[in-house]
Structure 1
Amino acid sequence: MKTIKSVIGGAALLLAAGTAALAARTDLVVGVVLEPPHLDPTASAAAAIDEIVYANLFQGLTRIGRNGEVLPSLAESWEVSDDGKVYTFKLRTGVTFHDGSAFDAEDVKFSLDRARAEDSTNAQKQLFAAIDTVEAVDPATVKVTLKAPQGSFLYNMGWGDAVIVAPETADANKETPVGTGPFKFDGWAKGSAVRLVKNTDYWGDAVALEKAEFRVIPDAAAAIPALLSGDVQAFPQMPAGDALAQIESDPRFTVKIGATEGETLLSTNNGKEPFSDIKVRQAIAHALNREEIIAGNGSGYGTPIGSHFSPANEAYVDLTGTYSYDPEKAKALLAEAGYADGFKATLKLPPPPYARQGGEVVASQLRQVGIELEIIPVEWAQWLEQVFKNKDYDLTVISHTEPNDINIYARDDYYFDYDNPAFKEVMNTLEATADPAKRIELYKTAQKIIAEDAVNGFLFQLPKVGVWDAKLEGMWENSPIQANDLTEVRWAD
């Protein structure tokens, strides 16, 4: 009997060891191109922040799903008054922040009032401009009254800029973020990686991953060996360069070419000479060969656009023919504007390959019509400070990845420095319109106005070149919002 027991015991140990070996992984390293300037999504326009914290660490009243739909989040339901001005949100109960403090209606009131305050540092403060009052009716109920009906209000509340934070920890969120999400902050090695761990006290469905690391890998030279060696298991937006075809043929990996909300622009300082002259901007538009720019943008993928709108949106209008590629016409327009011999300007390029490599192509094309550009590479923090904040630039190449954000062209003192009362009127009408068919027509009108004004060089819709281990499930193919949502990601058994 002793011998039989020993054999059975040994078999049981072997079985247990085999089961452990076959257990699915619970860790993940995700490669990201840009390091965020900090980790507070309510205090910066940097997409790199939301790419780490949205839905993972921080949550809003609503959230944007993988198909661009508005979903409940910290608000489990809501009612809208007949006049479309009063939203009554029923909040989830039993929710706590990562520091253990309770979430309730007062946190919602604090967050929304903070975002819309006169001294607010929220980069998307305009999202909250329609709010008149926020009332904490009881711990689980919030009533938001708008100044006028706003058809996009629930969608706006799903942006990363609208996440709910606690008054006790809000000021420290840049370095030690505290949210209500399914992951908690576990550390930040500056210049290297941000680490998250599973929130065991999460109010909703538990995530499968025990820990996740967002590792900063800015270019293909570093990204490819990291992927092939298994050091990094997923790149939601991979800087693959010419190696993408090789990766696609490797059965160890899944490659998905998806869509983003990233309108890639030759952003132009409309308030600065000579770009304040529409003929100069039209000349630039005629000098741009979008297909060449796409071919040289680092991935070779992208959909040409002629205005600031995603081709995936049902209201999209193809306006690429507004100013077709015509270098001779570009030269003629420059002569009419008084620049027959061309002029010199600067082109500030942030780190992403679509900007650095695509910007080289842009500079070459403008040189052909007499516009000599001095290329100035800048780091992400420099771009935010010099270009976005201080408007210290002539031209830059950047992707605007915020969802459905054509309204930025109506903002006073935005970094484009564009001011068209007719466009603002369309946006004001859109804000007060809930009827879907009417909203589509207004969006189409808005696209045409900024296309004809050649506000920017409208280049292409940024593709989402997703690459990850073939055993990973739940990664997003498209990016309807600037996020790398890990809440449904798991390793297959």
Structure 2
Amino acid sequence: MGNEAMTHQRNALGSGNSLNAGSSRRQFLRGLGIAASVAATGIPFQVQAAEDGRLLRLTGTVGDPDPHRATDIPGSILMFNLYDFLVRPAQGGQILPALAESWSTSEDGRAYTFTLRNDVVFHDGAKLTAADVVFSLNRIKTMKRGFSALFDFVESVESSGDYEVVFRLREPYSPFLSSLTRLAIVNSALIRANLADGQYGDMKDYGQAFLGQADAGSGPYTLAQHNPQQETVLTLYPSYHLKLAEDVPSEVRTLYSIDPATVRTIASRGELELTRVSLPPEILASLARLDGVKLGQDRGTDMMQFKLNMMKAPTDDLEFRRAVSLGFNYEALYSLLDIAGVSSGIPARGPIPQGAMGYSQDVPIMKRDLEGAKAALARSKYAGDGAPPLTVLWASEFAQVQKYALLFQSSMAEVGIKVELSPAPWAQYQKMITTAETTPNVCMLYVGLTTPDIDSLFWPTYHSSAAGTYNSMQWLQNPEIDEALERGREILDPTARTKHYQELAKKISDLYPAIFAYDRINVVAMNKRLKAPALEDLNQSIPVWGGNYQFRMMDISRA
């Protein structure tokens, strides 16, 4: 998938397998290691626990266990738990050492030299060396899968001894360190020993078949089982080199195809520790009323945006877009975000989501100005009855977003703007947005960062070269914005770079390419035995897909 909003779609829909048929349900439950007794409803009495009692069970959607193919939240969660990286993302967008003890940058910003730890071993006991780093970079670039585009700027990589590696870039690229949070380091010897037929010459399939069912990592967990129809099982790697929580889960089971009603039933029995998959607000509210259950907040860097097609009438007019943005009822939207006293979003402050570089509390929250909206409409070239109706698109699988669409329609009616609602299944949605002509006036969706660097959101959203792709449904074509985005990749000083993106965000906002609705927080239900700091304290959240689900940082007390 490669896109955050599409990931949210999968989270909402599950993997598409049904639990309705009794025989398939029983087979599914047996596959989860569930005791023989099953209630009349077909719900298990008890999921088999880890021997030491530190079992973490969570609902999820299927991710690709190959870290160089994964592009979404489920794949990112596997990536962060099975593998290590030269650097790692931390709270507030920080980049901290991981496999790299230290690094230096050349004066021209084109060469990065990393000194590696010498005490890291893969799960099979082999030492991790610079040769594995070189192999990993070459693998993802050659395969051109997953997050490979993040490394297009890398001209070469070479080892200088067992524990030093040098990356050379074609030109200065300031997001490079953040990009390395997506370069999982794999065991080159293990992959070479497990090649199957494929298209990459001597490297055959580059171990893709093998990594679909096994891991070649050095991370805190190993891949014990991966069955996309049932579950994925991770087991703790006791020799992991970084700190583990005191009562870290010894086994993690991600359960697939669990419908919301079943989630509530097994959670009420204490047989589920965490609901990662998005659930309807009413289900979360009912879970919050259960003894032994609490609600947590998974804050990444996602934002709900209503993108305005700048190449299609009537949203091709700046004053008309201003009227739309000023006329929307933001306060009514925020009232829809409360779930049992826990917020599923916070008001956006412009195009930079909270937790990302450049976010500032000084940027005002957008408020409705109905008179200002009417005045802007009167200044537009579509004043009077000259405006065709606005078409509004969202993925029809999202019941919650339909509420936003209805609110948008009623808000615009008060401004004097006609709106036609046109939901579509996600597959059709994707086809509609490939040209400016077929893209509706308003497209509602979540967008977010793929690395801790704001470039990973701004470039694919606002650079002209990205037009016609998922993030860029507003069809912004602006040479000044392009130049500023390109300059942002060249600035190496963090302070200067932050200021640059704050100024750029203001320029983008002044074009009204979207309604920046709210920064999303995924509300999750948790067993009270589980302590997950990144899900319970917004200040400890890690601003990258899957970053809040690093299981080594969680504590699970014995049942």
TM range (shorter): 0.7 to 0.9
User: 1:14 maps to what in 2?
Assistant: none
Q: 1:277 to 1:215 in 2, by over 3 A?
A: farther
2:480 equivalent among 422, 429, 436 = 422
Contact 1:367 1:373 (C-alpha < 8 Å) held by counterparts: no
What pairs up with 1:9-408 in 2 under 5 angstroms?
A: 25-32=53-60, 35-36=61-62, 38-43=64-69, 45-50=71-76, 52-93=77-118, 95-98=120-123, 103-116=128-141, 120-123=144-147, 125=149, 127-158=150-181, 161-165=182-186, 166=188, 168=192, 169-172=206-209, 175-176=212-213, 178-180=215-217, 181-190=219-228, 192-199=230-237, 202-204=240-242, 208-216=248-256, 221-236=261-276, 239=279, 241-242=281-282, 244=284, 247-248=287-288, 252-257=292-297, 259-270=299-310, 275-296=315-336, 299=339, 301-313=344-356, 315-317=358-360, 318-321=363-366, 324=369, 328-329=374-375, 332=378, 336=382, 340-343=386-389, 345=391, 347-349=393-395, 351=397, 355=401, 357-362=403-408, 364-366=410-412, 369-378=417-426, 382=427, 386=431, 393-394=439-440, 395-402=442-449, 403=452, 404=454, 405-408=457-460
How far, CA to CA, are the matches of 1:275 and 1:90 in structure 2?
52
> Which sits farther off after the overlay, 177-186 or 269-278?
269-278
Matched to 1:137, the amino acid is S
Contact 2:488 2:500 (C-alpha < 8 Å) held by counterparts: yes
Q: 1:335 to 1:372 in 2, by over 3 A?
A: farther
How far, CA to CA, are the matches of 2:210 and 2:396 in structure 1?
25
Q: 1:464 to 1:438 in 2, by over 3 A?
A: same
Matched to 1:294, the amino acid is Y
Show CA shifts across 1:172-214 (max 9, x none): 3773352422222233443553332233564555673222122
Q: 1:430 to 1:314 in 2, by over 3 A?
A: closer
Matched to 1:457, the amino acid is I
Contact 2:129 2:162 (C-alpha < 8 Å) held by counterparts: yes
Contact 1:43 1:123 (C-alpha < 8 Å) held by counterparts: yes
How far, CA to CA, are the matches of 2:484 and 2:381 in structure 1?
33
- Helix, strand or coil for the counterpart of 1:49? helix
Contact 1:236 1:468 (C-alpha < 8 Å) held by counterparts: no
Give the TM-score taking structure 2 as reference length. 0.70
Identity percentage of aligned residues: 20
Contact 1:30 1:232 (C-alpha < 8 Å) held by counterparts: yes
Show CA shifts across 1:73-106 (max 9, x none): 2223323334443221122345455566664323
- Helix, strand or coil for the counterpart of 1:225? helix
- Helix, strand or coil for the counterpart of 1:112? helix
- Helix, strand or coil for the counterpart of 1:376? coil
Contact 2:63 2:78 (C-alpha < 8 Å) held by counterparts: no
Matched to 2:236, the amino acid is K
- Helix, strand or coil for the counterpart of 1:375? coil
Say whether 1:492 aligns with 2:531.
no
Matched to 1:315, the amino acid is G
Superposition deviation, residue 53 in structure 1? 1.2
Matched to 2:145, the amino acid is T
Contact 1:234 1:469 (C-alpha < 8 Å) held by counterparts: yes
Contact 1:89 1:141 (C-alpha < 8 Å) held by counterparts: yes
Q: 1:229 to 1:388 in 2, by over 3 A?
A: farther
> Which sits farther off after the overlay, 127-136 or 328-337?
328-337
How far, CA to CA, are the matches of 1:324 and 1:385 in structure 2?
33
Matched to 1:468, the amino acid is M
How far, CA to CA, are the matches of 1:358 and 1:297 in structure 2?
11
For structure 1, the residue ranges without an aligned partner over 5 or more in a row are 1-20
Q: 1:435 to 1:453 in 2, by over 3 A?
A: same
Contact 1:346 1:393 (C-alpha < 8 Å) held by counterparts: no
Show CA shifts across 1:286-345 (max 9, x none): 343233233335845322225321234573242544985666357547762797353253
How far, CA to CA, are the matches of 1:367 and 1:360 in structure 2?
11
How far, CA to CA, are the matches of 1:467 and 1:349 in structure 2?
25
Contact 1:331 1:340 (C-alpha < 8 Å) held by counterparts: no
For structure 2, the residue ranges without an aligned partner over 5 or more in a row are 1-48, 193-205, 536-540
Say whether 1:440 aligns with 2:485.
no
Contact 1:281 1:455 (C-alpha < 8 Å) held by counterparts: yes
Matched to 1:305, the amino acid is A
- Helix, strand or coil for the counterpart of 1:164? coil
Q: 1:421 to 1:328 in 2, by over 3 A?
A: same
User: 2:27 maps to what in 1?
Assistant: none
Contact 2:306 2:517 (C-alpha < 8 Å) held by counterparts: yes
Give the TM-score taking structure 1 as reference length. 0.79
> Which sits farther off after the overlay, 311-320 or 132-141?
311-320
How far, CA to CA, are the matches of 2:325 and 2:379 in structure 1?
11
How far, CA to CA, are the matches of 1:334 and 1:36 in structure 2?
47
- Helix, strand or coil for the counterpart of 1:232? coil
How far, CA to CA, are the matches of 1:237 and 1:245 in structure 2?
15
RMSD: 3.8
How far, CA to CA, are the matches of 2:448 and 2:259 in structure 1?
19
